[in-house]
């Protein structure tokens, strides 16, 4: 059995499928069990940009071109009745975010065939003024996903990306600690900058910050490249897994100098987070990759808003500040923007 991640209106699920024996109908039944969307009503998308899959129940699962670890997005087809509604009841169709996503410049939007005869397509909602920064790109909108200023921002961002749950930040710290314990050669005192046991003890504390060492560990653990963009400079650092275990996927974290956030791809800027994609296929290793291009544009937007902190000279200990939240508040109140951590 192999895992497929499924995003659906009720949340996120992991399906276990057998690529050798499953038919498309078997996959649809698994999706039905997780989402309660009947097979006949399933609008299924996969890939980046998300593409609609043609579902022919009798064909083998391999006909869909899926592979282990792929992400699927399922929505109910427009106009379909929800499960459990009686034949005599009426219900307003809930628009699918995938159906209301933006269309690239120069292309006309076309209503699905099921809508053209009877109704106009649902308009995409305009982003609210309080929406986080975002950039239009192929297949959707890359959105700045802000996590709390609680000294666990890197771990929260990674938990959001890979577990869809920032409350699992402490579990991410344990992943780091276990990796350092198991690989004494790579994570020696010279690399860690302190005795290994001391480093492990410190990183398990919720008040300790993470950085490059942790990003490298997470890239290996999740077999996924982590692209970390520095808001101040626009530079992207790539933390890659070993070639033998590289899944060919990439995610994005945003670094402001003393804080990490995540980035995710939404069908449109104000789409519910359940419909966001946080891991993307690597289209190119260069800056022409659409996600990396959008990442640089997102950093430019944040830089124009002064959403970064230079870490060159200021000493947190001298100022009596404790942790990331106080540092950010101090910078806002005093204009000091150069922080260094003891």
Residue 47: predicted pLDDT: 81
HSE-CB at 190 with a 13 A cutoff on CA atoms is 2
pTM over the 0.75 mark: no
Beta bridge mates, 230: 255
Judge whether 213 lies within some domain.
yes
Residue ending a domain, among 11, 44, 78, is 78
Which domain covers residue 242, as residue numbers? 134-308
Q: Residue 60: which of 20, 90, 94, 29 has the closest Cα?
A: 20
The CATH number of whichever domain residue 8 belongs to comes to 3.10.20.90
C-alpha R_g of the chain: 22
Which residues fall within 8 angstroms of residue 12, CB to CB, at 6 or more apart? 5, 6, 164, 274
Question: What distance in Å separates the CA atoms of residue 198 and residue 56, rounded to the nearest whole number?
Answer: 57
The band of 326, judged by pLDDT with boundaries at 50, 70 and 90, is low
pLDDT higher for 117 or 322? 322
Judge whether 73 lies within some domain.
yes
Question: What distance in Å separates the CA atoms of residue 103 and residue 138, rounded to the nearest whole number?
Answer: 9
- pLDDT per residue as tens digits for the range 99-153: 222 223 232 333 232 222 222 233 334 444 467 899 998 778 999 999 998 999 9
Question: What distance in Å separates the CA atoms of residue 107 and residue 326, rounded to the nearest whole number?
Answer: 47
Residue 311: predicted pLDDT: 57
The band of 342, judged by pLDDT with boundaries at 50, 70 and 90, is very low
Beta bridge mates, 135: 142
pLDDT higher for 113 or 37? 37
SS3 state at 234: coil
Asked if residue 187 has pLDDT above 80, the reply is yes
Asked if residue 40 has pLDDT above 60, the reply is yes
Chain mean position to CA 121? 28
- pLDDT per residue as tens digits for the range 269-314: 788 888 899 999 998 878 789 999 999 999 999 999 888 876 554 4
Mean pLDDT computed over every residue of the chain:
78
273, 97 contact by CB (below 8 A)? no
Question: What distance in Å separates the CA atoms of residue 292 and residue 287, rounded to the nearest whole number?
Answer: 6
The CATH number of whichever domain residue 200 belongs to comes to 3.90.70.80
Cα angle for residues 172, 219, 201 (degrees, 5° grid): 40
Residues 79-86 have a mean pLDDT of: 45
Residue 105: predicted pLDDT: 29
Asked if residue 334 has pLDDT above 60, the reply is no
Indicate whether 74 and 138 sit together in one domain.
no
Judge whether 44 lies within some domain.
yes
Q: Residue 210: which of 223, 225, 228 has the closest Cα?
A: 228
Which phi and psi (to 5°) does residue 335 adopt?
85, -5
225-230 and 236-239 strand pairing: antiparallel
Residue 141: predicted pLDDT: 92
H helix or E strand, kind and range, residue 267? none
Q: What percent of the chain is predicted at pLDDT more than 70?
A: 75
Residue ending a domain, among 78, 112, 145, is 78
Catalytic residues: 150, 153, 259, 336
Residue 54: predicted pLDDT: 87
Phi-psi bin for 84: left (phi > 0), alpha (psi -120 to 50), beta? left
Residue 312: predicted pLDDT: 56
Beta bridge mates, 260: 255
Residue 279: predicted pLDDT: 93
Q: Total domain count for the chain? A: 2
Other C-beta atoms within 10 Å of 308: how many? Answer: 21
């Amino acid at each position: 059995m192999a895992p497929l991640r499924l995003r659906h209106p009720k949340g996120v699920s992991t399906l276990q499928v057998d690529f050798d024996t499953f038919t498309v109908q078997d996959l649809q039944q698994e999706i039905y069990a997780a989402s309660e969307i009947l097979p006949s009503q399933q609008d299924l998308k996969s890939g980046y940009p998300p593409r609609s899959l043609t579902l022919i129940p009798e064909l083998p699962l391999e006909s869909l071109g899926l592979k282990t670890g792929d992400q699927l997005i399922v929505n109910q087809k427009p106009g379909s009745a929800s499960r459990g509604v009686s034949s005599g009841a009426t219900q307003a169709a809930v628009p699918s975010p995938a159906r209301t996503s933006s269309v690239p410049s120069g292309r006309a939007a076309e209503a699905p065939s099921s809508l053209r005869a009877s109704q106009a397509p649902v308009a995409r909602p305009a982003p609210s003024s309080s929406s986080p920064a975002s950039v239009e790109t192929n297949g959707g909108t890359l959105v700045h996903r802000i996590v709390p200023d609680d000294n666990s921002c890197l771990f929260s961002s990674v938990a959001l990306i890979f577990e869809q749950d920032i409350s699992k930040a402490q579990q991410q710290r344990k992943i780091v600690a276990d990796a350092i314990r198991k690989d004494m050669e790579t994570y020696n005192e010279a690399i860690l900058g302190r005795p290994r046991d001391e480093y492990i003890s410190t990183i398990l504390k919720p008040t300790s910050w993470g950085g490059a060492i942790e990003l490298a560990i997470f890239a290996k653990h999740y077999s996924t490249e982590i692209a970390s963009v520095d808001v101040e400079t626009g530079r992207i650092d790539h933390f890659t897994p070993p070639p033998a275990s590289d899944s060919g996927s990439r995610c994005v974290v945003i670094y402001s100098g003393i804080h990490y956030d995540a980035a995710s791809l939404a069908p449109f800027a104000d789409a519910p987070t359940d419909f966001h994609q946080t891991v993307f296929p690597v289209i190119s290793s260069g800056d022409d990759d659409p996600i990396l291009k959008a990442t640089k544009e997102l950093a430019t937007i944040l830089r124009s808003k002064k959403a970064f902190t230079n870490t060159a000279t200021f000493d947190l200990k001298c100022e009596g500040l404790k942790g990331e939240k106080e540092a950010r508040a101090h910078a806002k109140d005093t204009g000091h923007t150069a922080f260094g951590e003891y």
